[in-house]
Chains A and B, each alone.
Chain A
Amino acid sequence: MITRFLTNVSVKFNPFSPRSKSARLVLSLIPSTARASGLRVESKMLPRDSKEPASLGVKFKDGKEMNLELDKMRITEVVETVDRHSRQLARKEELSGN
């Protein structure tokens, strides 16, 4: 997952629900140095008997916000969706000249 263009990641899930697997995998995909370089990660754990679906909120550096319902997505789809915008930002950055 490209985390260079993310400023904020907030995940909410119930660990005892089998559908929250992708939410936990998203957290495990964030590199260990990302927090030090300005990415804010918030993870909220729901109690065991809550039926609330797992959700992911992502904020990008250009201000775009994304809210994903993680309980219906596999981890590959989540990564694909987030990376689609990140790649656009990467291309823009490259074209603007560095």
Chain B
Amino acid sequence: MPPRIRIRPRALRVRITHPHHSLPQTHTYASLATATATTPAPPIHQNLRAVPPVLRYPPTQPPSHKPPEVRKTQLHRQYQSTLKSSPLILLFQHNNIKAQEWMGIRRELASALRKVDAERLQNGQDAYADDIKVQVIQTGIFASALRVVEFFKPEENILDHAQHPTDPRTPTSALVPQTTNKSDDERFTHGLSKRAYEAASNRKLKLELEPLFAGPLAIVAFPTVSPQHLKSALSTLAPSREFPAPRRKVNPNYHEPAVQAGLQKLMLLGARVEGRVFDQEGTRWVGGIDGGIDGLRAQLVHMLQGVGGSVTSVLEGTSRSIYFTVEGRRMDMEEKEKGDTKE
């Protein structure tokens, strides 16, 4: 195998003969000058049409600030997507719950939610039971992901730079703003970019949920704010007076010792509902909204109907009274006119 580094004997000779010569060696040989000139010109089609832009990373995987292959980074990304996609998240503290107890709790939660879903399907509403699960989280990473979600607000048109090179609509003469795969580029707007990291590491910004992020935590994330599902989850995981646990006759599995021992160690801390933070009482209030969003709509419509009725009656009343006053005035004037003619 030939040596990788090419030794240029001529350069060495020059260095030796002129050791104090600091200017770079310039070749004045005619033969060398012609050698550079004979570089073949680019083919004619390359001169006519620009080379299509090349994206140096898959459009769905922009480069990440932290090493993307470690578990931490992937958890961070996963928590960010959970936080962005679920408007209702319950936060629990779990104190040394055993695997068997977790199994029981998960089973009971799933069966309770499936009952709600069966009711909703009869009314023609969507079913969510399969998407609602208890998930034990890494507290610190979750806190950091929440900081990114709350404080990193990138501008719109995220995918401008990710135009596909082989897409015929991509103008080939246009400059692609971002084709390098360096994560510290300003134009990256994903949650793992360096800009997101810097926005989230600003310690002057405080999260409302910050004091809750200590100790072992678990979350239950809901894909929509559905008080029916929340109600059944609360009565299973954190029973109280408003949301009583299922009776032993109705659901004997719920009263198994493993499940009960697990539930003793599970504490509801609070909830994050559409970006707002609620404590236990607030969470129960959200769960206590009857009929969910449809119930609220019905209440609103009912209220507006009532308001509308009263408004029309009020308006009618004024018009009526105006009518009466005008009529009274007319009568009065007529009487006066009559009086004038009499006199």
Contact = CB atoms under 8 A, between A and B. Distances in A.
Given A15-B269, A15-B270, A16-B270, A45 B214 contact: no
B279 A24 contact: no
Nearest to B93: A24
Interface in B260-277: 261, 264-265, 267-270
The range of chain A's interface size is 20 to 34
A49 to B, nearest CB: 8
Contacts of A16: 211-212, 270, 279
A47 interface: yes
Interface string A12-32: 000111101100110110111
Given A15-B279, A24-B215, A30 B93 contact: no
B262 to A, nearest CB: 9
A41 B216 CA distance: 17
B96 interface: yes
B232 to A, nearest CB: 21
A84 interface: no
B216 A28 contact: yes
A36 B214 CA distance: 26
A72 interface: no
Contacts of B96: 28, 30-32
B93 to A, nearest CB: 6
B251 interface: no
A24 B97 CA distance: 15
Interface residues of B, number: 23
Nearest to B212: A15
Contacts of A17: 211
B95 A27 contact: yes
Interface in B280-330: 280-282
A9 B97 CA distance: 18
Contacts of B267: 27, 43, 45
**Secondary structure of the B contact surface, majority rule:** mixed
Contact of A18 (B210, B268, B279): B210
Contacts, number: 57
B202 to A, nearest CB: 19
B219 to A, nearest CB: 14
A31 B96 CA distance: 6
A35 interface: yes
> Most chain-A CB neighbours within 10 Å: which of B96, B97, B98?
B96
B212 A32 contact: no
Contacts of B261: 35-36
Given A16-B212, A47-B280, A30 B95 contact: yes
Contacts of A15: 93, 211-212, 269-270, 279
A32 B280 contact: no
A43 B269 CA distance: 12
Nearest to A20: B211
Nearest to A36: B261
A98 B213 CA distance: 44
From B95, B101, B267, B282, residue with most partner A Cβ within 10 Å: B95
8 contacts: A30-B95, A30-B96, A32-B97, A32-B98, A35-B261, A45-B268, A48-B270, A48-B282
Interface of B: 93, 95-98, 101, 210-212, 214-216, 261, 264-265, 267-270, 279-282
Given A15-B279, A28-B95, 15 more contacts: A21-B211, A21-B214, A21-B215, A24-B93, A24-B215, A25-B215, A27-B215, A28-B93, A28-B96, A28-B215, A30-B95, A32-B97, A32-B265, A35-B264, A35-B265
Closest 5 CB pairs of A and B: A48-B279, A32-B96, A18-B211, A15-B269, A21-B214
